[in-house]
């Protein structure tokens, strides 16, 4: 069994894969203050809840956008299963042809998502990952990673708005009944949901225009996609486990034969 862990700024997604089958997934909050012992204990508890023993885990792979947690997680997993994980980064084979100014700057999350999307969906394609930041990755018909876009995430934008505008409250992220809000909370909700959906539709249209061809596929993943995708005009495929699939593929490409 393979333990795949995707670390974002807000959440850690964990999955156990047997062969090509994802046995289960779990999520926990990203905590920069935790030690390797605490992370090892958390992972052990999750495995135990799902009836999996650490002894059944034969390998592990980690992708992290939080640099200070990479070494902590490496030690935590080694403590848990008795061997270090593969950490996605420089020197790891991905099979992805990256055509940006400095390929080394591409975040591991964007690499992992692109690898999985290329293996699953027709190209050209746009991959949308909705988390703390909303990122877009553009892949052409030949499978080349051309670049993308990084946008403040929905919750991050709302938090900034509430924190810096004294008369605006902190709100939950629920869609209003109408686009035109008639009170402060509904106005904020409308801006967050309908505004971001329209922004996403507009950006996808601009990408199509720049590529000079209609996109074959738009794929979305990430914790906030369920809030936004229903309000987009473009046809968008939702793939909640895309990152874990990408980690599985990269692990297979780098596993000793």
Write out the catalytic residue numbers. Answer: 109
DSSP 254: H
Q: Is 7 helix (H, G, I), strand (E, B) or coil?
A: strand
Among 229, 221, 223, 249, residue whose Cα is nearest residue 22: 249
CA 109 – CA 113 distance, rounded (Å): 6
Burial of 257 (0-12, 13-18, 19+ CB in 10 A): exposed
Nearest to 137 by CA among 100, 102, 180, 162: 100
Structure tokens at 184: 């402060």
**Helix spans in the chain (H):** 36-49, 67-81, 108-120, 154-164, 184-190, 196-211, 225-228, 242-254
Q: What is the DSSP string of 156-189?
A: HHHHHHHHHSTTPPP------SSSS-SSHHHHHH
Rounded to 5 degrees, φ, ψ at 129 are -115, 115
């Amino acid at each position: 069994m393979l333990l795949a862990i995707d670390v974002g700024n807000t959440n850690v997604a964990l999955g156990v894969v047997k062969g090509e089958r994802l046995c289960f997934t779990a999520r926990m909050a990203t905590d920069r203050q935790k030690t390797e012992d605490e992370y090892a204990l958390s992972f052990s508890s999750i495995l135990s809840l799902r009836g999996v023993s650490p002894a059944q885990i034969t390998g592990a792979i980690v992708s992290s956008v939080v640099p200070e947690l990479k070494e902590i997680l490496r030690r935590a997993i080694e403590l848990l299963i008795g061997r270090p994980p593969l950490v996605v980064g420089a020197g790891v084979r991905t099979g992805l042809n990256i055509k940006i100014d400095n390929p080394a700057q591409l975040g591991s999350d964007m690499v992992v998502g692109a690898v999985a999307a290329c293996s699953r969906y027709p190209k050209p394609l746009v991959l949308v990952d909705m988390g703390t930041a909303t990122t877009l990755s553009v892949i052409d018909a030949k499978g080349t990673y051309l670049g993308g876009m990084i946008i403040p995430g929905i919750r991050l934008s709302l938090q900034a708005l509430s924190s810096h505008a004294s008369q605006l409250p902190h709100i939950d992220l629920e869609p209003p009944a109408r686009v035109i809000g008639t009170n402060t909370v509904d106005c904020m909700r409308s801006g967050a949901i309908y505004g971001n959906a329209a922004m996403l539709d507009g950006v996808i249209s601009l990408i199509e225009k720049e590529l000079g061809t209609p996109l074959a596929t738009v794929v979305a993943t990430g914790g906030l996609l369920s809030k936004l995708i229903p309000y987009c005009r473009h046809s968008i495929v939702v793939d909640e486990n895309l990152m874990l699939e990408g980690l599985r593929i990269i692990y297979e490409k780098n596993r000793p034969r």
